[in-house]
Chain A
């Protein structure tokens, strides 16, 4: 990919801001791990060796217990299978993931009631929640949902915002006036409350919730893009392109849009953290994604309701803190790289 030397310079500047650069690396690793969470945290085994054959149950159809010589038709309980194989001391073996619990699976004990505190013996490294689901599993799968939620929300908000904003700024006129009024109205909606009311009524799924949030979330980007476009279109290079006979389409996509990328990129990390916080808040209140979807907000709610089980809230708050700080550091570094402000200081 051929990069504009200016962009190249910005990326170099970003890399030179260590805090932000390492945060980005950590963030990418976090997303990468969460993408392959099934291989690390799952109640399905990674590999089962049974009677000379290998099975890989992680992805794909569930394998009924009968296949492994058990007496049931439903999905194999691999933890039990592992114990069984070990007890029999046979050639067969089961390789379980690091955390051998599923995201929705409740691990019930006969003599105790959940929540169970962290225990390395049982591989509940951060304990279980109030109904006995493993917290590590809930955290990682919840992270995956939250991060993709906010990325898709960002995409939705920005594509609406950028297209309307550019048109408003570039053509102005009646269209601009009309949307100005709409934005003025929209920005006065107490939107968290309205979202809560809406999602208390239509229990939303993933895409529905994004739709509802985007319905109220597009104005910020629209307004920013409008202002930026207004400024940019007065500059000489646009005038030059115009006098050379470039079409509006060409000016917009070839000249204007690339020059507004800096603004878009600068806002993006903060929108990501905003999206995560919004989803977590809604889930905490019980108006986010329906249970039993793994979610941080729901975990905080459990920790709040059951404060003696400190491991629930501490682990989710710490993971939230890490994620949000990482994203914020990235955002700060991006801002500094794209818009360096050099201050005079007096000695």
Chain B
């Protein structure tokens, strides 16, 4: 087990280098990077015309060759790929993710501001997910093929078919645009600072409900059916039959014996959910315009703000990998039969 975990931890290193070097390489050969943007900005100031798309090899170059070289040096574009990659990596290892080429803020500060928001949605989602899916799964398993089971299966199924962010769009159109019950997105209202404590809580709640549903849709079905199916597997196993044959009440057989074992796969799933939660979901954050990590990542790609792109990649892939390892540890703790070689 220890050896296995140690190997997994060591594997983070090549994975991390692999991902970052791949994306780093790609981002270097892109038109529309910081230098192109500055050239475009300079041209805009010069001509007063706005052109969003900088075209290479333009006739009236607003910046002199020297200035461009200086800029390239500033952004590390003058050095060969590997050299600048390793200098970037060296900085990352000391905790310096660089400075945004768009907002000129340190990348780490930008990410740090966003993490609590993603975490807020993530943790509530997780809590509700386990709080609702486990009882629902148990009920469905015990009342297999009953009216309740069939009807709830259909509803849960529809949730499985359609992705969470599409549900989000639908919810926004119905409840925010059409009926105007909920706000149109965002994390808090604009006048949040001036509200009373109670008003703040209410405001936050209103902004939370729709995204929360969208977040939950993603894992809800999987979790419910996981619970149901494993419990049913255990209910039909010999040890439960023996327990009932010995005269144990059905209730006790379920809750004392079968349920305990059926919770193992649910625990296994925990790790998967962790990584989902910490990195948030771009799609849902974009739909609801929530300023979490996902939206930051999306915007930085759109704006070609590569230090931020790389920073988000670093943080999210690290979280992802740690989440996977945590998931393995969870399994090993809960299920004594599992030994990783």
Residues of A within 8 A of B (CB): 181, 184-185, 187-190, 192-194, 196-198, 200-201, 273, 277, 280-281, 284-287, 300, 303-304, 307-308, 310, 313-314, 317, 320-321, 324-325, 327-329, 332, 343-346
Contact = CB atoms under 8 A, between A and B. Distances in A.
Given A196-B301, A344-B235, A313 B169 contact: yes
A200 B33 CA distance: 12
Contact of B15 (A188, A280, A313): A188
A328 B144 contact: no
B250 A346 contact: yes
A201 B162 CA distance: 29
A198 B11 CA distance: 24
Contact of A192 (B29, B232, B282, B302): B282
A132 B313 CA distance: 38
A321 B29 CA distance: 39
Chain A binding surface, main DSSP class: helix
A184 B144 contact: no
Contact of A324 (B162, B172, B176): B162
A345 B145 contact: yes
A343 B144 contact: yes
Given A185-B11, A320-B162, A343-B144, A193 B170 contact: no
A307 B288 CA distance: 13
A304 B214 CA distance: 15
Contacts of B320: 188, 190
B298 A196 contact: yes
Interface stretch (B19-27, B109-117, B193-201, B332-340): B19-27
B172 A193 contact: no
A194 B166 contact: no
Contacts of A281: 163, 165, 283
A198 B26 contact: yes
B114 to A, nearest CB: 14
A298 B178 CA distance: 21
B177 A310 contact: yes
A231 B166 CA distance: 39
Q: Which of A188, A286, A300 has the most CB atoms of chain B within a 10 A radius of its CB?
A: A188
20 contacts: A185-B11, A190-B279, A190-B320, A192-B282, A194-B19, A194-B313, A197-B27, A280-B166, A281-B163, A284-B165, A285-B282, A300-B166, A303-B169, A310-B173, A317-B169, A321-B162, A327-B161, A329-B157, A344-B241, A346-B250
A308 B302 CA distance: 26
Nearest to B170: A317
A192 B263 CA distance: 30
Nearest to A300: B169
Interface in B278-320: 279, 282-283, 286-287, 297-298, 301-302, 304, 309, 312-313, 316-317, 320
B18 interface: yes
Contacts of B27: 197, 201
A285 B236 CA distance: 46
Given A189-B19, A201-B26, A201-B27, A346 B235 contact: yes
8 tightest Cβ-Cβ pairs between the two chains A and B: A344-B236, A307-B177, A324-B161, A185-B15, A328-B161, A325-B161, A201-B30, A188-B321
B14 interface: yes
Contacts of A273: 161
A284 B165 CA distance: 10
A270 to B, nearest CB: 10
B82 interface: no
B309 to A, nearest CB: 6
A188 B317 contact: yes
B272 to A, nearest CB: 11
A211 to B, nearest CB: 14
B294 to A, nearest CB: 9
Contacts of B162: 317, 320-321, 324-325
A329 B157 CA distance: 9
A183 to B, nearest CB: 11
Contacts of B29: 201
Contacts of A184: 11, 15
Given A200-B301, A321-B162, A346 B244 contact: yes
Nearest to B275: A190
Nearest to A181: B11
A190 B313 contact: yes
A277 B218 CA distance: 12
